[in-house]
Amino acid sequence: MAHWTEDAKRLNIRYVSIKSKYELTTEASLSSDACLIVLPPSGHHEYRLRLRGLNELFSDLPIQLGPNATLIVFGEIVDLVRVHTVLTPFMRYQHWISIKRRTVKTNGDDSLPLHHFGALVYTKYKSPLRHAKTRIEYTYCPVCDKTTKDYGGKKHTYHEYGTLISDVWRDIACDLEGDLTEVIVRFADLLGVHPYEELKVLDCRQLILERSSILSKGPSTWSNVINQLDDSQTNQLMFGDCLEKLKQIPDNSVDFAFADPPYNLGKQYTGYYDDMTVTQYFDWCDRWITELARILRPGRTCVVLNIPLWAIRHFLYMETILTFQNWIVWDALAFPVRLIMPSHYTILCFSKGNPRQLPGLVDEPEILDNLRPIHTHKFIEPLAEGFCLRLNCINRRKQMDIDDRGPLTDLWWDIHRLKHNTRRVDHPCQLAPHLMYRLISLFTRPGELVVDCFNGAGTTTLAAAQLARKHIGIEISEDYHNMALTRHLEIQSGVDPFRKAERTLTAKNSPVPRMPKQRYVIPKKVLQLEVKRIATLLGRLPSREEVLQLSEYPTEYYDRYFASWGEVCAAARTTGMSESRPVVLKQAVSKQPSLFDLEQIPSNK
Ligand SMILES: C[S@@+](CC[C@H](N)C(=O)[O-])C[C@H]1O[C@@H](n2cnc3c(N)ncnc32)[C@H](O)[C@@H]1O
């Protein structure tokens, strides 16, 4: 798959095979300002084992790098979380980029196969990562031959070549133990902007570093007694603070503990202020994670969903009391609009003690015939890479008996966020029901108990109820608690709480103001294309005053219909796209990254 970098000059790639810590530090200090370190991969069945000596390896490195330095580290999840703790006091975290593995690594039935490794990106300067605008070519569904994403009525605001790059790279695949050329070339293009000239690749895969297990022991106060809650204690929604309410749940009584906490990003919840200091936030998180771990039965899984940066910190705490199972990358299919767009969430899975075999991997598929709302989605058999999510194409594939399912790994891309969805209720960040169907089907059996301590509008407990699991949900906001209660009553009266509906929503998952619902006298698309015409005339984006003078439509429409001037100019900034496959991918052919000969520097230099 190709990428296309605008106005950039690919950096010279200099490759050094590192044999000692001394050599790593020396090479880093000689380095021009972009440096990429490759850590050794883990062996088969070693994914829980961490490289020893990472602290020492990285301790002097940040100081050696120049003030404009960008540092990228490729590695296994367990190693990158540790590297982060060493680098973060000295360098600024920019991205966790997840890169698809060419070869999926299996570990047995107690965790999902590994389908990605990470590239951590840091800078020594304080502004956002300086890099070239980079696009990833569209992909086309083999059945309908249209783009794998449905761009709906916004095609005029997208580029003909592809989407802006995000922080999940699924269009290329490499193995950490194999040839990394494609992904290194992408970084060399991405960083091909002033002041960089060279990307120095410091390959540490020949370093002799042992791996050892991460010791996790729950607190000695935890009891070994397994508790079974009776029916009066389950299938309930608790209103209140999770730290208080979790205390009411006995030790070792829950089969699946889930948390989708507030991300501490200043979201507008009702009844809760999402803006603590980082230290306060993690102190608080550690407390409810400990509670979740306490109530979990041995062998069962606790799942915490968060942005990758916060997930690193959760990981470091969770590994002290639980056992690592998976770092699931949920590529939530946002449309990138900025430079590298963070588009994924981390779903951290840790078990209490050794994990049991995952029910969703080893059990016979259930027949869920009471699940009217779900037509085609088999929760634990995801869509195979390359197929689109258009309903008419899904139905056509079904009619044609085309197998469009792939194996479930720790890289998920076939579940959309509920951003502008008609299935949304009035909560700023509710999860997609399919995400919860998948997690609950994977980690539990019918009749088992699911707990969500940040239940919000009730996605988890509703999905659990629909899948015939018992549930307990805790929520601090009375509004959301009541919302979840009402939706549970809907299930009881045979109504799908996740149905599509015309609702007036006030809560929004973005700081951009919501525009009032209105009838458009002139369609927004027509206005945006008019601005594009004016931009072509002027040779640049027009100001509001210029549109006032040159547009054939009254300015009041521009003022009333759009949330920002940026949105007015959305079509003028780009070429517009078609969802059909172009006959010849014009630019792509010349812009494809070619393989190159890495310049080998003698390692003793
Ligand atoms: C990210 S949202 C969860 C949304 C939920 N997964 C859904 O799909 O609706 C976090 C929720 O946690 C709630 N919350 C915040 N602090 C809480 C606390 N101390 N105890 C319980 N709930 C809390 C917020 O009100 C919010 O509804």
Q: Fold for domain 3-213?
A: Rossmann fold (3.40.50)
> What's the CA-to-centroid distance between 475 and ligand 1, angstroms?
6
Q: Ligand 1: which of 475, 478, 508, 509 to mutate, judged by most atoms within 8 Å of the beta carbon? A: 475
Q: What is the distance in A from the centroid of ligand 1 to the CA of 288?
A: 12
95 and 167 Cβ atoms separated by less than 8 Å: yes
Please, what is the Cα angle at 575 between 570 and 578, to 5 degrees? 105
3-state helix, strand, coil in the chain (%, to 5): 30, 20, 50
What pLDDT score does 590 carry?
37
User: Going by CA atoms, what residue is nearest to atom 19 of ligand 1?
Assistant: 241
CA of residue 262 to ligand 1 center, whole Å: 6
Give residue 592's pLDDT: 39
d(Cα 524, Cα 521) in Å, to the nearest integer?
9
Q: Which atom of ligand 1 is nearest to the CA of 480?
A: 27
Whole-number average pLDDT of the chain: 87
CA of residue 271 to ligand 1 center, whole Å? 10
Instruction: Kindly give the distance from the C-alpha atom of residue 473 to the centroid of ligand 1, in angstroms, as a whole number.
Output: 10
Task: Tell me the H-state helices in 296-374.
Answer: 308-321, 359-362
Considering the chain, what percentage of its residues have pLDDT values greater than 70?
A: 88
Task: Quote the ligand 1 centre to 224 CA distance (angstroms).
Answer: 30
Whether 373 has a pLDDT exceeding 70, the answer reads: no
Q: Is 546 helix (H, G, I), strand (E, B) or coil?
A: helix
| Range name among 212-216, 241-245, 295-299 with the lowest pLDDT average | 212-216
Query: Distance between CA 476 and CA 427 in Å, rounded?
Result: 13
> What ranges do the domains of the chain cover?
3-213, 235-370+407-492, 524-585
Q: Which residue has the higher pLDDT, 269 or 184?
A: 184
Atom 26, ligand 1: residue with shortest CA distance:
456
Is the N-terminal amide bond of 195 cis, ω within 30° of 0? yes
Count other C-beta atoms under 10 Å from residue 120's C-beta: 25
Higher pLDDT, 244 or 383: 244
Distance 452 CA to ligand 1 centre (A): 9
Choose among 431, 460, 496: nearest CA to 237: 460
Q: Two tokens at 130? A: 């300086």
Ligand 1 atom closest to the CA of 454, numbered from 1:
12
Distance 158 CA to ligand 1 centre (A): 34
- Per-residue model confidence as pLDDT tens digits over 191-204: 999 989 999 999 99
Residues with CB under 6 A from ligand 1: 241-242, 260-262, 269, 271-272, 427, 429-431, 454, 456-457, 459, 474-477, 480
Q: What is the pLDDT of residue 537?
A: 94
Rounded Cα–Cα distance for residues 395 and 579 (Å): 19
Q: Per residue in 397-407, pLDDT tens?
A: 999 999 999 99
User: Is the pLDDT confidence value at 458 over 80?
Assistant: yes
Could you read off the pLDDT of 337-372 as tens digits, one per residue?
567 777 889 999 999 999 999 999 988 765 544 554
User: Mean of the pLDDT values across residues 291-302?
Assistant: 97
| Average pLDDT for 9-28 | 92
Reported confidence tier of residue 596, pLDDT bands at 50, 70, 90:
very low
| Confidence (pLDDT) at 41 | 96
pLDDT of residue 506: 65
Higher pLDDT among residues 205 and 335, named by residue: 205
Task: Write down the pLDDT at residue 271.
Answer: 62
Distance 509 CA to ligand 1 centre (A): 14
Nearest CA to ligand 1 atom 3: 456
pLDDT band at 333 (very low <50, low <70, confident <90, very high): low
| pLDDT for residue 514 | 60
Q: Which ligand 1 atom sits closest to the C-alpha of 242?
A: 20
| Smallest CA separation from ligand 1 atom 5, residue | 456
Quick one: which atom of ligand 1 is closest to the CA of 474? 21
Residues 440, 444, 445, CA angle at the centre, nearest 5°?
115
Cα 348 to middle of ligand 1, angstroms: 17
Going by the DSSP 8-state scheme, the letter that residue 157 receives in this structure is G
Residue nearest to atom 7 of ligand 1 (CA): 430
* pLDDT band with cut points at 50, 70 and 90 for residue 206: very high
**Which residues are 116's β-sheet partners?**
100
Q: State which of 454, 461, 480 you would mutate to test the pocket of ligand 1, scoring each by most atoms of that ligand within 8 A of its C-beta.
A: 454
Best residue among 265, 267, 272 to mutate for probing ligand 1, ranked by most atoms within 8 Å of CB: 272
Q: Which of 144-158, 279-293, 510-524 has the highest mean pLDDT?
A: 279-293
Instruction: Identify which has the larger pLDDT, 575 or 605.
Output: 575
- Test site for ligand 1: of 268, 304, 476, 485, most ligand atoms within 8 A of the Cβ: 476
Q: What is the pLDDT of residues 473-516, one digit of tens each?
A: 999 999 999 999 999 999 999 989 998 776 666 665 555 556 66
pLDDT tens figures, 132-163: 999 999 999 999 999 988 888 889 988 899 98
Q: How far apart are CA 238 and CA 481, in angstroms?
A: 8
Sole residue written with tokens 């330095």: 69
- From the alpha carbon of 427, which atom of ligand 1 is closest? 9
How deeply is 434 buried, as exposed, middle or buried, from its count of CB atoms within 10 A (0-12, 13-18, 19+)?
A: buried
d(C-alpha 327, C-alpha 315), whole Å: 9
Residue whose CA is closest, atom 25 of ligand 1? 477
**Residues 531-577 pLDDT 10s:** 999 999 999 999 999 998 999 999 889 988 988 888 899 999 889 99
Alpha carbon of 456 to ligand 1 centroid (Å): 5
Distance CA 498, CA 452 (A): 18
Of the chain, the percentage scoring pLDDT greater than 90 comes to 64
Q: Cα separation of 338 and 341, whole Å?
A: 6
Residue 586 scores a pLDDT above 50: no
Average confidence (pLDDT) over 234-246 = 98
Instruction: Summarize the confidence of residues 47-60 as an average pLDDT.
Output: 92
Identify the CATH number of the domain defined by range 235-370+407-492. Answer: 3.40.50.150
Q: What is the pLDDT of residue 597?
A: 37
pTM: 0.90
Mean pLDDT in residue range 165-190: 94
